[in-house]
């Protein structure tokens, strides 16, 4: 089934003050007529920044292509470059790490339209974890207390809502390839007394604050119980893929505040009852909200929902002379829910992207109180200095898969490039 073709004409000024989004494609170059085979040896270059636009030096960068990997570090200007053979691997995963900063994990779909790609990254500073004789705590009260003992120090972070989406590691899919909607994520770099990272620890429950702009994303992943569950996921950074865990996370709230034996206040956290969820999502719940889940090791933890019902957009980018624009960056983000994905166009200027499909009448895929919802996405396209954003693009209700391109809605993206055509 071929969906109706949507056509957008993008007009770009000759002198553009636009801000490029990450990932960024390289120059458009020649068109599809002389495209040839897709390149296999890829050069990736870019810069890594810290907050306040300072250069990130000595950042460890590893490109994973299945079992193969290539590593490098950023120089004094925060710049890097590496070359890797992508034959037989899809996707290519690039990981950026520096102690006390949130890692960046980019999952790059193959094939690419050109043999070079510019990928910039920005690292966010983590919150330091301080441990005493009884417990560990993080500044800012964004976490409940950590148990002390083998854990002696570390760094942690949590983030949720729309501002968190660009910082999620990897691709929002689980190990089965099903799409994820994510409410929030946390990252833990936990160290022992010798400063070594703790990969496996005695499991404990940890709670993290729900950001105010993530509250309306809260849903109940298991409506059969009296509690409000979220599915939990961990990230395999070398594959850029999340793994759904058997243990659930729970939406909770501060029921009371008590004082410990040393005179310090702490939150008494209890699980939310399902009957309270409508008031919470509507912003009519005054207590502090938490997401609580089991911690088993250092690394990433995400809360959210699996959305196996999917559809797709088959996008093509061209200039005003109908020349294919290779390596155009395409980013798709949920308008009212926690989803983001990105890719680059191939030799033909095309890229297929899958999203959760809108609900048919009477269906409820996301376990909220509304049936038959229409989902919307915002689409950003960047090619060289040309940039455009399509807001509130309606997602089809019909199923679709990039494995069957004929089932996808087609979106022809034409940049008006003010050039003379032969």
pLDDT band, very low/low/confident/very high, at 169 (cuts 50, 70, 90): very high
Q: What are phi and psi of 133, to 5 degrees?
A: -75, -25
Pairing of strands 310-318, 409-416: parallel
pLDDT of residue 201: 86
DSSP helix/strand/coil, 204? strand
The residue that leads in pLDDT, 73 or 36, is 73
Assess whether pLDDT exceeds 50 at residue 18. no
pLDDT of residue 35: 53
To 10 degrees, the CA torsion angle through 211, 216, 220, 225? Answer: 90
Average pLDDT over residues 335-349: 93
Assess whether pLDDT exceeds 70 at residue 385. no
DSSP helix/strand/coil, 5? coil
pLDDT band, very low/low/confident/very high, at 147 (cuts 50, 70, 90): confident
Percentage of the chain surpassing pLDDT 70? Answer: 91
Structure tokens at 48: 């890594």
Alpha carbons within 13 angstroms on the beta-carbon side of residue 176 total 10
Q: C-alpha 291: how far from its chain's center?
A: 18
Assess whether pLDDT exceeds 60 at residue 5. no
pLDDT of residue 80: 98
pLDDT of residue 36: 61
Whether domain 6-123+309-416 has CATH 2.160.20.60 = no
pLDDT band, very low/low/confident/very high, at 208 (cuts 50, 70, 90): very high
Domain ranges of the chain: 6-123+309-416, 127-307
Q: Are 179 and 229 in contact (CB under 8 A)?
A: no
Assess whether pLDDT exceeds 80 at residue 238. yes
pLDDT band, very low/low/confident/very high, at 265 (cuts 50, 70, 90): confident
- 286-300 pLDDT, tens digit per residue, is 999 999 999 998 999
pTM for the full predicted model: 0.88
Residue identified by tokens 């994973």 is: 64
Q: How far apart are CA 287 and CA 274, in angstroms?
A: 15
Q: How far apart are CA 42 and CA 275, in angstroms?
A: 53
């Amino acid at each position: 089934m071929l969906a109706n073709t949507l056509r957008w004409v993008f007009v770009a000024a000759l002198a553009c003050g636009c801000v490029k989004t990450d990932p960024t494609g390289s120059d458009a170059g020649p068109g599809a007529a002389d495209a040839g085979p897709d390149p296999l040896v890829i050069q990736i270059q870019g810069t890594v920044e810290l907050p306040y636009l300072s250069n990130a030096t000595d950042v460890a960068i590893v490109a994973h292509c299945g079992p193969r990997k290539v590593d490098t570090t950023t120089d004094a200007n925060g710049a890097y470059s590496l070359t890797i053979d992508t034959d037989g691997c899809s996707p290519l995963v690039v990981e950026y790490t520096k102690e006390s900063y949130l890692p960046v994990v980019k999952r790059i779909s193959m094939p690419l339209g050109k043999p070079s790609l510019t990928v910039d990254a920005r690292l966010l500073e983590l919150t330091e974890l301080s441990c005493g004789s009884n417990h560990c705590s993080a500044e800012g009260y964004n976490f409940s207390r950590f148990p002390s003992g083998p854990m002696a120090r570390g760094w942690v972070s949590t983030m949720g809502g729309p501002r968190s989406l660009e910082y999620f590691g990897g691709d929002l899919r689980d190990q089965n390839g099903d799409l994820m909607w994510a409410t929030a994520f946390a990252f833990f770099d936990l160290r022992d007394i010798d400063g070594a990272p703790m990969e496996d620890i005695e499991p404990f429950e940890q709670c993290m604050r729900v950001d105010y702009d993530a509250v309306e994303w809260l849903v109940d992943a298991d409506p059969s119980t009296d509690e409000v569950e979220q599915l939990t996921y961990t990230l395999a950074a070398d594959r850029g893929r999340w793994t759904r865990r058997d243990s659930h996370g729970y939406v909770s709230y501060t029921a009371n505040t008590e004082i410990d034996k040393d005179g310090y206040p702490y939150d008494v956290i209890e699980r939310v009852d399902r009957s309270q969820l409508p008031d919470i999502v509507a912003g009519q719940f005054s207590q502090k909200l938490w997401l609580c889940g089991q911690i088993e090791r250092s690394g990433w933890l995400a809360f959210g929902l699996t959305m196996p019902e999917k559809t797709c957009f088959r996008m093509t980018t061209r200039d005003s002379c109908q020349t294919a624009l290779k390596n155009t960056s395409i980013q798709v983000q949920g308008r009212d829910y926690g989803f983001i994905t990105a890719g680059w166009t191939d030799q033909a200027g095309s890229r297929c992207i899958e999203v959760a499909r809108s609900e048919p009448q009477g269906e409820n895929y996301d376990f909220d109180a509304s049936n038959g919802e229409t989902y919307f996405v915002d689409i950003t396209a960047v090619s060289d200095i040309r940039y455009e954003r399509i807001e509130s693009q309606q997602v089809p209700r019909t199923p679709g898969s990039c494995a069957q391109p004929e089932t996808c809605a087609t979106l022809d993206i034409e940049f008006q490039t003010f050039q003379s055509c032969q």
